[in-house]
Amino acid sequence: MSLDKATVARIASLARLKVPNAELEGLATELNKIMGWISELDQVNTDGVEPMSQAADLKLRWRDDVVTDGGVRDKVLANAPDSREGFFTVPKVVE
């Protein structure tokens, strides 16, 4: 597939890009090189190659899903301007 200036101008319009007419020829050349590279990739034999989500075979480390309170309630409440009975105290905002 070969892209000419008119096609590149149409692509730029669809992509909402403002490309000056003087740059259309150079852009067409670059896009044709990219399309050529893609056609080269099409010729690569990928039979028997499994799809992958990443290049490295990473395994997630699992931990037990245990619900805890964090064990730092007193440290957290120490930052509060006012706390009572283990909770933050806030001013009343609804009358």
Instruction: Find the mean pLDDT for residues 25-53.
Output: 91
pLDDT at 23: 94
Domain ranges of the chain: 5-42
What does the mean pLDDT of the chain come to?
89
Question: pLDDT for 48-76, tens place per residue?
Answer: 888 887 778 778 888 888 888 788 888 88
Please state, for a pLDDT cut of 70, what percent of the chain lies above it. 99
70: left (phi over 0), alpha (psi -120 to 50) or beta: left
pTM score of the predicted model: 0.50
pLDDT at 16: 96
Residue type, 49: V
Would you state the torsion angle of the CA atoms of residues 35, 38, 42, 46, taken in this order, to the nearest 10 degrees?
-170
Residue 84: phi and psi, rounded to 5, are: -145, 135
Residue type, 68: T
Is there a contact between 19 and 27 (Cβ–Cβ < 8 Å)? yes
Instruction: Find the mean pLDDT for residues 18-41.
Output: 93
Nearest of 7, 8, 37, 11 to residue 23 by alpha carbon: 8
d(CA 11, CA 2): 13
pLDDT at 22: 93
